[in-house]
Every structure is written in C-alpha cells, then in structure tokens.
Structure 1
Amino acid sequence: MQTTEFCDHLYDKSTDGYIQILKLDNKNNSGERTIKIYNTKNEGLRDIVEELHKKEDVFLAPNTMYIPKRRVENIRQFRALFQDIDCESMGLEKAETVYMIWIMHYEGKIPKPTMVTDSGRGVHLYWRIQNAPFGALNTWQELQDYIYYNLKHLGADRKATDGARVLRLPGTINSKSDTDCKVLYIDNDVEYSMYELREEYLNYKPKTHQLQMQQTKKIDNKVISNRFFNSYSLHMERANDLETLCRLRKYNMTGYRNMAVHCFAYWKGIYVRDNYELENVVIEFNNAFTEPLKETEVQAVLRCIPKAIDKFIAYEQGIRSGERKRVSKGMRDKDGYWYKNETLIDRLGITKSEQKHMKTIIGIDEKYDRNNERRRNKRRNEEGLTKRQIEQKKNIDNIKMLKIQGLSQSKVAKELSIGIATVKRYWNL
C-alpha cells in the first residue's frame, strides 16, 4: 500500500516523538473547512494512514514533535529534507520536472532524492536523513534553503521550507485537482547525513580552517562561520535574546514595541516559513506586552517579512553557491535587516545590566568583560587557582614539610632555591 510504503521510508524503530496528520473535512455551515488532527507515535501511525487511505486532503508532517503540538520550536527529530514543487504553475509537466531534477543531481547541484511523490498538482521531493534533534535546526534549515534556492525556477514553494510543514500523504486524493497522490520513486537504501551534505553542498570548511581564516582575516567566496554563530543561528539566538529582554522588563515594552515586533517577526521568520503560523507566533508575542500594538500595526509589520526572508535566502544561499556578495545599505534598509548590535541596543534601549543576560545583543564593554572573564577562568586550574597561587601553595607545603624535618629557615631557603624572605613569610602558616 502506498501510504505504508511512504511511512516505512521515513519512520522506523529509531523514530521518537509525535507524528502529526491533518485531514481537511467538508465545509461546515459557515462555509469553512474543518480540520481533524491526529497525533501519533510511530507504533500507531500505520493504522491511522490505512484508515485514511483513499480519503481526500490528508497531510502528514515528515518531522516529529516532542509534544503533540506542531511548531518548529517543538521539533523532536528531523527525519527528512523536503521540497514542494508546484511545477504546473511554471508550465511544466511532472515527468519533465522530475527529469530536470535528476539532471541537476547528476550535475552535482543537489543530492539525489530518496523519494518522489505525486501531490496531485505537482511533486514532492524527500531526502531521508539520519535523524537529528532540534539542536540541528540551523543545519537543517540551511540545507532546506539551499535545495529550495536551486529548485525555485521549477516552482519550489518557500512556505514549504518550514521544519513543521505538512505535505500530502500518498494513497490519498487531492480534491482541488481530483487526482491521486502517489509514490513515483523510492530508494530505501539511501540515508543522508546532514553534516556530510553541508560539507558537500554548502561550501563548509572544517572548523579549524574556519578559525584560521578568521585569524588571518582572509576572505573568499566560501562560508566562514564565526566561532559561535552563523547567520541562521544568530537570528534564532537574537529572537531568544529579545524574549529574554521582554521577560526582564515584565513585558513593559512601551516605546520599543514596533522595533521589538519587527525584529521578532523577521528573526522568527528565518525558521517559521508558514505565514499563518508566523502570524500566530508574532501575535502571541505582541499580546504579552502590557500595552500591545494594534492588530493593524502588527499586520503592517508582517506584510514586510516574506520579501525580507526571500532576500535573506537569496543572499545566504548565493554565498553558499560561490557568488561574491556583500550586505549593501539598500539591502539593510529595504529587503533584509542586518542590524548591528549598537543599533539594536540603541533602538531597543537595552541597558548594560540587561546585556549581561543576552547571548548576542551585547555592546563593546560587555564583550570585553566576557572576554576578560573567559581569560581569567582559562588561567585557573580545576581548584580555581592561578599559576601564581599554585606556586604559592607549593612553596607553603614544601616549607611545612622541611620545617617538620627540623631544617632551619636558611637551610629551607637553600634547599628550595627561594629567598629567605619568602620562607619567613610562610614559616608560621
């Protein structure tokens, strides 16, 4: 059966977390379609999909959630990379599209899909991966965007690059086109490692070489991650910093609300690509304020986000494709938001005491304080002692031992090759 074959490809005994299935039902009295949601573990998945076999408009999330609530932040395991190709909107036949995708693979532009399905109006592509936890979100999103960027000309959908996305289940029916969704190709012998894919397709260098490149300040077309963040992880941590700031202020953000909502929507939008889901996340964030922005103001912010995300992907994936790019003033002002820490600190009114709770939005003084603290800690041993304190303790212990043996202060100084003043200072300790 198509549905079982599909499930067996993505989920096995290593699967952990909840798998969500959506079934769009017929319109209710208000003319709206209701949604039936199934959340199941791998053990019960096949019973549900068999029940939904040949039903209309059934969708499944390839990645699993640690709680039965489908959001990017709740991802338990990444099971696959995927792309939704609406080739018909580009005037392409499905067979022609699949052929072009295979050509791109043979040219070394994208990895070979492990499964291709007919979605009714297009094709869905899957790349089965060794399961990875939420901490791999940055790598997963970079790879997802890389594939999207290379397949955009065939009709790849940016909204389907979201880690919590659902796609049509083979063995069911697409009511819009009244066509069957089915598996076209499957290879159960292939399973990719995201980190191998990253090295092969994203121009990543080994970490030691990245650090060497930074230290010598040489720049080429390749991706150079800094010691802690790349562009993807930086956006996620800045969103976390912003939430930390709001908690510190007990969500009294009056005077800074527009900037806070604007930044939060953009930073979250790097990972939450579904516009409806992003809207819900941003509205929740705004409603937590002691004085929320008006709904029309929030909607005005959200209208700018899709274009900015498209520009972010084009810029980042352009670099990973070997293009020479730079962040221009116009790009910062219009299509992408590349704020410096100084700008964020000023426009959000972040104090020095608040910066101590941040990971990325910090000023020069806080940066120096952290570097100095790191250096101080590095100089100490497991007992928290510096080299000077270790030497001092060693002298005291040696002096005590020789004193017990009956040696005079002058003989102790000669025995240890230290000054008599040092011996006298520690003699009675």
Structure 2
Amino acid sequence: MKIDGNSAKNIDKAVYHAWFHHHDSDGWITVAKKTENGTFKQFHFKPQELAEELSKWLGEDVYFSQNTFYKPQRKIENIRQLKSLYVDLDFYLFNYDPSWVLGKLEHEYFGESIPEPNILIFSGQGLVLIWLLDPVPYKALPLWQAVQNHLLEQLKGLGGDPKATDAARVFRIAGSINSKNGAEVRAEYRHDYKYELRQIQFDYLPELNEAVNPVPQKKKRGRKKKVVQLFNTYKLHYARLLDLVKLVELRNYEVTGYREIICFLYRYWLCCYTNDPEEALNQTHTLNLQFTVPLPFHEVERATRSAEKAWEARNNEEANRIAIEKGYPGAGYNLRNSKIIDWLDITREEQRHLSTIIDGVEKRRRKRERDRAYQEKRRRERGDMTRSEYIKQQHDRTDNHLFAIQEMLKQGMKQKEIAKILGLSKGRVSQLVKELKKV
C-alpha cells in the first residue's frame, strides 16, 4: 500500500506518541477505532508490536489505552500497570477559547493545585492532560483512583469530564483525525519526568496522606473525613469487583441461575467505581459473553437497569439526605456480605479464595490464622516451644462446631436437636449460636 507524505507524517506522530507514553510498558495495550455505528473495534498489542500495527489503524477516531492489561481484554479488573493519570477537559461545552484555557492552566494551575502534565493532547474539540507515572501495579488502583478524582475535582471549572476517569480509559492518538470536525489530533510534549503516585499524593492530597499514615490525634470533621471515606469506598468497590470476577472464574464461568444478579452487581459496583455508566454497561456485556451460557444482549441491560438508577441516586444529594434520615448510610445499594453470599450461594470453600465477600466465620478463621502466624513468629524469636497441640485442637473443634451449627440452623433444626447430634450441652450450643450472631 502506497503511503503519501501527509499520511507518513501522521503515522510518525502516532508512533512517537505511543512510544513516549508506552516505551517502558509491560502488558497489553489496547488500540481502538470507532466504527460507523459508534461501537469500538478493539485489538491488543504488546509495546514492541504497537509501532508496526499503528500504520494499519491510523485514520479517523483512533484511540489507545493509557494503562496496560495483563491479558488482551480492556477491563478494570485486568489492569497490569498504572502508567498515567489524566483529565479530559471538555471546555468547548462552555464556549471557552482554547488559548484562554491553556493560559489559565499555565498561570493558575500547573505547579499549584495540580502537577505540570507530561503531555497535552489537543483532541480536536477539547484538551486531555496526561501525567506519566513510574509504573505501579493494580493493587494501587484505589489510591490511583483517589488521586485521579482529586485532579478532576481541581479542573471541574474548566470542563473536567467525570466519565473519563477510569483506569481502562482510551484517548485519541496524535496524527489521527476527529471525525466530528475533521481536526487532526496533536500532542504537545512538555517534559519526560515520571511522577511517583505516592509523591503526588503527598504533595497534592494532604488529607489522604494523613489518613494513610495516621498520627494519633483528636478526630476532626471536614474535608479530610470526606477524602478518607472516598478512598475507602474506592477500595471496597474495587475489591468486590475482583471478588465477583474471581467467583465466576472459580465456577468455570458456569453461572446459569446467577447470571442476572452477577451482572447486576458488576454493573452497579463498576458504575460506583468509574462514574461512567456507559462504560459500566459495556463491560457488563463483556463479562456476560464469557459465561458458558450468556444472557441475551437485551436481557443484560433490562436485568441490570436498576443498578444504574441506584448509582444515580447515590450521587443525588436529596436522595442521600432522605436515605440518611431513614437510617441508611446513604442512597444506592448498601449490601451486606451476608446478603451477597445468600444471593450467590457462595460456599465456604469459595470464600477462602475471596478477599472481601466473606462471612463472619471466614473472618474469624483468617484472624485465627494471622494470630497463629504472629504468635509462631514471636515464639521463634524468643526460642520458645511451638504451640500446644491441645490448644490448636480446641480452636479447630470450636470452628468445626460453628460451621456445623450454622448449616443445621439453615435447615431449621432446633438447638436441642443440634446439641444431641453434636454431643454438646444445650448451654454450649446456645453460647455458640450467640457467637455466630456477633460475627
């Protein structure tokens, strides 16, 4: 295929943009192109393949992922490396002049409320600010999201797009064309310094820094509490997303009978985490297609529509006020682990592979394991003998009794019957039942 001079220049621009952003990346990078019906056609490449493949893709509406994935699938739970932070400024919605916006950023924002970005992407209508990071693994995603949303909050007045803050986001690549107005996408490279995520946290999010590294002091109300709550919420939603995906994997994607509730929970938690209902629905469709017997396309949207409505309520001040007055933590779905475990019939063995969707008995077992490990370490340091087998047996026996009683109660058995079967006194059974209610 013959390439003219302009096309060759645009390919060079795209290749350099991809190299500048991803030359030291590890994992899969997504390249996406919008089709005529508005959907994305996506392919995934390793960093060393990207330059060669871009020449086949360049043209209108070409995008690439800002972070990388451990398998060729652009989903939040597949993040391998967090390579950058970003904010998409849709200032054209306010009829702001581009040069005025850039001047305001230069004089009032860069180095003050936000770091100076590495790359500015002039996308044809708006402006994308990119901060390159020393790569951090997926476990840092809750902190990454907290920092990401803080940067967005600083730039809301200039059209910061809250729907463009998830870690699986794609942005236009330099040298491509924005089909909405025919403008060429261009990139401006300001510096190549890689930021450390923790350093941005320390420099620009002091409230979160105090929460992550607390110093004993009197509790204070205000913005610090709000930032801490947001950080903890991100951690919980992300952990639950990973647990849900893990559960599907444990069941070898054979989840018939649970498909609707799995898709509902996935869509709701992803809406809460990304603040992007459209992307949440797209990824829910992708999850559904992995099931051995997927739901029909229209059924996925119908069965999970209430998830998006609950997310909208969660972000509505009046809905939150009413929910709090009624004694709830807030609007939206505030699901207890016991309810999720019941809905999905999560077994004791499955819970051992999950991080947060676990019941009190599993929490107790893990705490005992941690305590044992700690005590063993202390004993080794002191040169003492190992733990008495008798104590271990007593603890294990208590755990076994708790498990057995829990299952018998589910079957509707009375405490008197349970005591007879287990060879325990009725008082001991009553004591263990009370312990189950505490956890």
- Note whether the superposition's TM-score is higher than 0.5: yes
The more displaced of 272-281 and 193-202 is 272-281
Would the aligned equivalents of 1:9 and 1:188 in 2 still touch at CA under 8 Å?
Answer: no
CA deviation string 1:47-73 (max 9, x = no partner): 4546766x3322222223333433333
Would the aligned equivalents of 1:246 and 1:253 in 2 still touch at CA under 8 Å?
Answer: no
When residues 304 and 152 of structure 1 are mapped into structure 2, their CA distance, relative to the original with a 3 A threshold, is: farther
Amino acid aligned to 2:201: R
Amino acid aligned to 1:262: F
1:117 equivalent in alignment to 2:121: yes
Amino acid aligned to 1:150: Q
Give me the whole-angstrom Cα distance separating, in 2, the residues matched to 1:70 and 1:138: 18
1:360 equivalent in alignment to 2:349: no
Give me the whole-angstrom Cα distance separating, in 2, the residues matched to 1:247 and 1:47: 34
Amino acid aligned to 1:375: D
Aligned partner of 2:367 in structure 1 is: 371
Shift of 1:242: 3.3
Shift of 1:119: 0.6
Aligned partner of 2:88 in structure 1 is: 84
Amino acid aligned to 2:47: N
Q: How does 1:95-110 map to 2 (within 5 A)?
A: 95-106=99-110, 108-110=112-114
Amino acid aligned to 1:102: E
Q: How does 1:32-71 map to 2 (within 5 A)?
A: 32=37, 37=42, 39-49=44-54, 55-71=59-75
Scaled by the length of structure 2, what TM-score is found? 0.67
Aligned partner of 2:168 in structure 1 is: 164
Amino acid aligned to 1:145: N
CA deviation string 1:350-386 (max 9, x = no partner): 5666644432233334433432332233222499899
When residues 286 and 18 of structure 1 are mapped into structure 2, their CA distance, relative to the original with a 3 A threshold, is: closer
Scaled by the length of structure 1, what TM-score is found? 0.68
Shift of 1:237: 1.9
Aligned partner of 1:7 in structure 2 is: 18
- How many equivalent residue pairs? 369
Aligned partner of 1:278 in structure 2 is: 280
Aligned Cα root-mean-square deviation (Å): 4.3
Amino acid aligned to 1:281: Q
When residues 330 and 293 of structure 1 are mapped into structure 2, their CA distance, relative to the original with a 3 A threshold, is: farther
Q: How does 1:243-262 map to 2 (within 5 A)?
A: 243-245=245-247, 254=257, 259-262=261-264
Consecutive unaligned residues of structure 2, counting only runs of 5 or more, are 1-11, 389-439
Would the aligned equivalents of 1:80 and 1:129 in 2 still touch at CA under 8 Å?
Answer: yes
Would the aligned equivalents of 2:337 and 2:358 in 1 still touch at CA under 8 Å?
Answer: yes
Identity of aligned residues (%): 30
Aligned partner of 2:336 in structure 1 is: 340
Give me the whole-angstrom Cα distance separating, in 2, the residues matched to 1:310 and 1:156: 19
Amino acid aligned to 1:19: I
1:205 equivalent in alignment to 2:231: no
Structure with the largest fraction of helix: 2
Shift of 1:33: 6.8
Give me the whole-angstrom Cα distance separating, in 1, the residues matched to 2:39 and 2:243: 37
1:193 equivalent in alignment to 2:193: no
Give me the whole-angstrom Cα distance separating, in 2, the residues matched to 1:152 and 1:198: 19
Would the aligned equivalents of 1:379 and 1:387 in 2 still touch at CA under 8 Å?
Answer: no
Aligned partner of 1:414 in structure 2 is: none
Aligned partner of 1:20 in structure 2 is: 30
Aligned partner of 2:182 in structure 1 is: 178
Amino acid aligned to 2:136: A
Consecutive unaligned residues of structure 1, counting only runs of 5 or more, are 316-324, 393-429
Give me the whole-angstrom Cα distance separating, in 2, the residues matched to 1:344 and 1:36: 34
Aligned partner of 1:143 in structure 2 is: 147
Give me the whole-angstrom Cα distance separating, in 1, the residues matched to 2:29 and 2:323: 40
Shift of 1:132: 2.1
Shift of 1:117: 1.9
Amino acid aligned to 2:241: A
Would the aligned equivalents of 2:376 and 2:386 in 1 still touch at CA under 8 Å?
Answer: no
1:130 equivalent in alignment to 2:126: no
